[in-house]
A and B are shown apart, each in its own frame.
Chain A
Amino acid sequence: MVQLVLLILVAEIWNTTGQVLFKKGTNALGKPDLGTFNSYLNFVKKVLSMRTIWLGLCAMTIGLIVWLIALSQGDLSVVFPLGSLQYLLILVASRLVLNEKIDLTKVTGTILVILGVIFIVKS
């Protein structure tokens, strides 16, 4: 049980790392101009040339593999509700690593989402 929880946590930490790397990448990229098809193509090219994005994709892949291992070993009624902790980790990482503004409203909203996800996956 402890091992399962740790496994899920490890998967989520990798996923969070991936998302943070994506966000770091887009922060460096700036807002894209996506008026035309060509500008969209340019954007895709730029994104694919960024190391942070690729590192993010690697982190997500590792997260997915660990997640699948957890799924295959664990009781799904434990694994899925714990999966919603992802939102909490993202919230903390956004504040600590990305310096995003976290206010009480955002925290309330995130907690409601977590509760909602738990209800849905538990049902």
Chain B
Amino acid sequence: MKTGKLTFTIFLLIIFNDLGDSLAQLLMKKGLLQTGIEVVTWRTMIEFLAHNASSPFIWAGIAVYALNFFLWIVILSHIDLSVAMPIGSMTYLMIPFLAIFFLKEQITFLRWIGIAFIVAGIYFVSKSTHPSLEKV
């Protein structure tokens, strides 16, 4: 199919998409931390849902996810899925940083290595799109 060039704008859009994804997960995590139900079984499912249905954090998370879906569709209408997907792994970079600031979590050495691998991977995938083949 038509292969779109990975432009700076699209790259930025993917960053926004990843940020949205991370933000949504963070909001949900914050919401879930407040509900106080640790193990969800079939029995506690209703209680779990009822508890979370009143959480503004959970709803904010869902809203961000919904908006993000359309952003993802915009991104896919410009570049290949095989490019968009690996670059979308930036979520894995953002969540640790957001987790440090908002959830006060720690980052281990192994995690830094993982972050380095992902950055290198994203670099290679970005390099693999050939502007010369563009028709737009």
Interface on A for B, CB 8 Å cutoff? Answer: 19-20, 22-23, 25-27, 29-32, 34, 43-44, 47, 53, 72, 86-87, 90-91, 93-95, 98-103, 105-106, 108-123
Residues of B within 8 Å of A102, CB to CB, are 82
Residues of A within 8 Å of B83, CB to CB, are 106
What is the distance, in angstroms, from A53's C-beta to the closest C-beta of chain B? Answer: 7
B-side interface residues, number (CB < 8 Å): 44
Question: Are the C-beta atoms of B80 and A111 separated by less than 8 Å?
Answer: no
Question: Are the C-beta atoms of A109 and B86 separated by less than 8 Å?
Answer: yes
Complex Cα distance, B126 from A34, in Å, reads 24
9 contacts between A and B (CB under 8 A): A23-B76, A30-B77, A94-B82, A100-B3, A109-B123, A109-B126, A115-B121, A116-B115, A123-B108
* Contact among A26, A44, A113 with B118 in the assembled complex (CB-CB below 8 Å): A113
Residues of B within 8 Å of A87, CB to CB, are 85-86, 89
